[in-house]
Structure formats: C-alpha cells, structure tokens
Structure 1
C-alpha cells in the first residue's frame, strides 16, 4: 500500500509513516512520531512529538494528538502518548502525553472511540474498547477499564478508576472510583446498579450476571458491614469472573467508591 501525503501538509523527516498511511490537507506531523500501517489523519489535525499510533487509526479533522501535559511542573521533558490499533479519534479531541513524575506515558488501547471534543489528560490509561461521548473529560492518571462507556459532558477527577464494562451517564461528575459492570450517573455521580443491558449485549453468561446482581445486593443493600459483605461475596461467588473482579476492585480502591443512589427512580433512572 502506498503512503499518501497531501502537498499542503508538513511532515517532519524523522516521522515514521507505515504503509498505506494517508495524510490529509494542512496536517502537521512532528518529529519523534510513528504512524502505523493504514492510519489516516484528516485535514488540519496535528500529531505532536513523542507520539506513537498503531495500525488503522483514524484521526479526524482538528484533533491534537500528543501535546505536552497540562501540568505546571512540566518543563518539556520527553514523555509519550501511545495508541494501539483501530481507534477513532474524532474532531477537536485532545490527547496529552504523560509526565515525568507520573507514568511518563499516556496509554490508549485498541478499538477505542473518542468522540468530538473529548479530552484525555496526562498519564491516563484507557484499555481496549473504551467509548467516550462528546465533550467527556478525563483528569490526569485516570484509568478506564475495558469497554467502559463515558457519557457526553462527563468530567472524571484525576486518579479515579472506572472498571470494565461500567457505564457513566451523561453530564456526570465522577470524583471516586466506579466499580466494574456498574451504572453511575448524577451531578456528583451515584451508583445505580449493575449494567445489565451492557453485560447481556456483551454475551456474558446468564448465571454470571445473576450472581453479579446478588453480589450487588449483598454488598450495597445488606445489613453487613462493607468488609463483611466483601468477604461473603468473595466466598459465595468465588470463581465467577464478574463477581471476582468486582470484589477485587472494591478491595483495592484507594479513593473510595461512588455511593449508592438511594432513589433510583428519581429523574427516571431505574
């Protein structure tokens, strides 16, 4: 496959372009960058230095990929942004590199879909299949698990973890961890319950989803203490992926977990 570079674009001689890369009009590609086979960069987008993209990524117009971190301590050190394969980075998205005092790298997996105006700050980790809807924003050091979905106009506080297959409703503020497989929503987000529709669509076995529902009720709705409930859930549902991951996530949380919505029917939420 032949690499195509529009004559109005500026591509640094030290940029590495794989076979079949397509560079549209007025694109800027800086030094110390690599674009994998089949990657496409549309008009007016920028790929800043110390950025690596895998195969078949699509960077849409006006996105800015790999700019330095928005950290007042940052002094231009070499830090990186690394993307896997098959990601869609829509218009005006901004993805920042890591920081020397953090991980030194911002990591985005494969198959992610970052819609227009999304922002991923320094040192974040996005696992495979993450979706961020329009205007969603991540502070530094945020970790999004596999297939997590972040609704439009959400703001996620730095150092927060959001577990795999979690779903965050639009216009939510996330200041604490959101466990895997759960729904959360609200100005200061509250936990609503398991993400049942998402889990069924993902093809998880019915018995595992049923066990997760029981574990949820045990951990958040029983009269047991938090520690007792986690121990009992770990024992009662041992060996099941969903419940094992849920219990492990809750035990390892350092920021604490978003609290339970006590009126799930409020504002039409169920």
Structure 2
C-alpha cells in the first residue's frame, strides 16, 4: 500500500531518524539519527543521508548520493548545522550536498521540484530555489544563491558567494565568477552574458510583451557608452511598469558579496538571443 513504509533488511536506519509514511529505503542505505525523511520519498539503494538533514515528500534519491555530510571548509568548527531539501526533488547518482557552516548561514537549503543529475555537488550554505535543474558534474561552491527556474549546464562551476537570478540559464562547461542577472543566458570559460533566456521565460509563462521589455531593458542596462549606475536609474524610470524588468534592476542594485556582475560578451549590450519575437 502507498502508506506502507519499507525499510530493506540490509539498510541501516539509526535510532532517532524520522521516516515518513510510505517512504522506501532500499538495500545498503545508511540513514543517520538526525535525519527526517518525508512521506513517499524513495532511497533506491546505497544512499547515505547523515547530519541534521530534512528531506521533503515524494523525492527520489539514486545510488551513491551522499546528503548532509559536513561542510568542506577549514573554517567550520564542528557546530551543528543543517541541510533542508524540499518536495519532489530528483537526486541522481553520486550527488553530494553538504550542510552549512557555523560561521555562515548555518544551513544549506534546496526548494521543491529540483533535478540534480549525476555527480552534481552543492557546497555549504547554498540557498537553492524551486524548479532548479543542475546537469551532470555541475558544481556550486559555498554561500551561493540560486533563484527559481534556473538551469545550470553540465561541468559548470560557480564561484563562492555568487548570486544566480531567477530563470537564468548557464551553458555547459561555464566558469561563473560573478553574479548572473535574472532571465539571462551566460556561457564560456570565465563566462559572460550572451543575451536573455527567451526560451526559459516562455516555458515559465512570462508574457510576450514582458519579454520584449526585458530585452529592451537589457540593452539599456548594459550600454557601455554610459556608466552602469546611470543606466540603472534610466531603466528604473523607463521600465517602472514592468515587474520583470524591475526584478533585474533590483538584482543589480542589491549587490551581493561578490560585488561583480557578469558583463555582456560584446563591447555593446547586444541581446544575442536567437528568438526574434
């Protein structure tokens, strides 16, 4: 029955772990004493979940994933920190996700409907939104913020303290050293902006008229004939009626610890998106 919890006799679930109704724990899994496992979440086999880790309902976790391990940080002094993963996440083979640090947020958090493919690594103190996809081998350093509906291509690596805005798309093999504005496409070794993520915006329901405004705002914001601060104020006035454009403008003004936003590839702010709607 759906509400029957299954724990394979060759799995180790330590005393103190909380296992939700309908959860399935396959052979050779190890679930630590502070773990909370949501309803109907499935650990296929050979999964290790340790630390103060809470996983939501209806998740699927594949073999060799290690969740809730201590942060890989020499500054961490061993204090109790946490990992929280939302509902309906798919975590594939050899994914590793660490808890927070006692000098940082103290927590690593992941939203709902995430899809993390094989060999993804998410380091300490990251805050990941909903509907995020990270493909094979993508790596996040510590203290990174990732918005909703973000796609991160395989073998990409993102520098610590970086912010990735909502609906951004990062091409495979990219090296991200600075913040990525919402709705953007970025790519390259020492990545640069390559235009707006039109396909991603359409898929998430952004109206066509708003996509056009966003592309106009992008060109204005990154017009290198004027200082960025001046462009921000001009765009704020011109696009005050666009919720989506204002998200980009607010992102640029609420600077993170990196204090660096990825620039466009070209000297002028062309929008290289291949969709001409």
Q: Determine if the TM-score, normalized by the shorter chain, exceeds 0.5.
A: yes
- If the length of structure 1 is used for normalisation, what is the TM-score? 0.96
Of the three residues 239, 258, 262, the one matched with 1:258 is: 262
Of the three residues 247, 250, 255, the one matched with 2:249 is: 247
Tell me the equivalent position of 1:161.
163
Question: Residues 216 and 269 from structure 1, CA distance in 2 versus in 1: closer, same or farther, beyond 3 angstroms?
Answer: closer
Q: CA deviation at 1:227?
A: 1.1
Cα distance in 2 for residues equivalent to 1:269 and 1:145: 21
Aligned 1:29-178 pairs, distance under 5 A? 29-178=31-180
Cα distance in 2 for residues equivalent to 1:62 and 1:10: 15
Confirm or deny that 1:6 pairs with 2:8. yes
- If the length of structure 2 is used for normalisation, what is the TM-score? 0.93
Q: CA deviation at 1:240?
A: 1.4
Helix, strand or coil at the partner of 2:209: helix
Cα distance in 1 for residues equivalent to 2:157 and 2:227: 30
Cα distance in 1 for residues equivalent to 2:243 and 2:188: 28
Which segment is superposed worse, 154-163 or 201-210?
A: 201-210
Cα distance in 2 for residues equivalent to 1:49 and 1:102: 17
Tell me the equivalent position of 2:187.
185
Q: Is contact 2:23-2:40 (8 Å) kept?
A: yes
Which segment is superposed worse, 195-204 or 60-69?
A: 195-204
Cα distance in 2 for residues equivalent to 1:36 and 1:129: 18
Q: CA deviation at 1:253?
A: 1.9
Q: Is contact 2:158-2:176 (8 Å) kept?
A: yes
Helix, strand or coil at the partner of 1:100: coil
Q: Where does structure 1 differ by over 3 angstroms across 4 or more consecutive aligned residues?
A: none
Which segment is superposed worse, 68-77 or 40-49?
A: 68-77
Q: CA deviation at 1:73?
A: 2.3
Tell me the equivalent position of 1:28.
30
Q: CA deviation at 1:200?
A: 1.4
The number of residues matched between the two structures is 267
Which segment is superposed worse, 69-78 or 145-154?
A: 69-78
Cα distance in 1 for residues equivalent to 2:224 and 2:118: 42
Cα distance in 2 for residues equivalent to 1:269 and 1:154: 20
Q: CA deviation at 1:263?
A: 8.1
Cα distance in 2 for residues equivalent to 1:247 and 1:156: 22
Cα distance in 1 for residues equivalent to 2:134 and 2:241: 31
Cα distance in 1 for residues equivalent to 2:93 and 2:267: 37
Q: CA deviation at 1:41?
A: 0.6
Tell me the equivalent position of 1:196.
198
Cα distance in 2 for residues equivalent to 1:81 and 1:155: 21
Unaligned runs of 5+ in 2: none
Q: CA deviation at 1:27?
A: 0.2
Confirm or deny that 1:209 pairs with 2:189. no
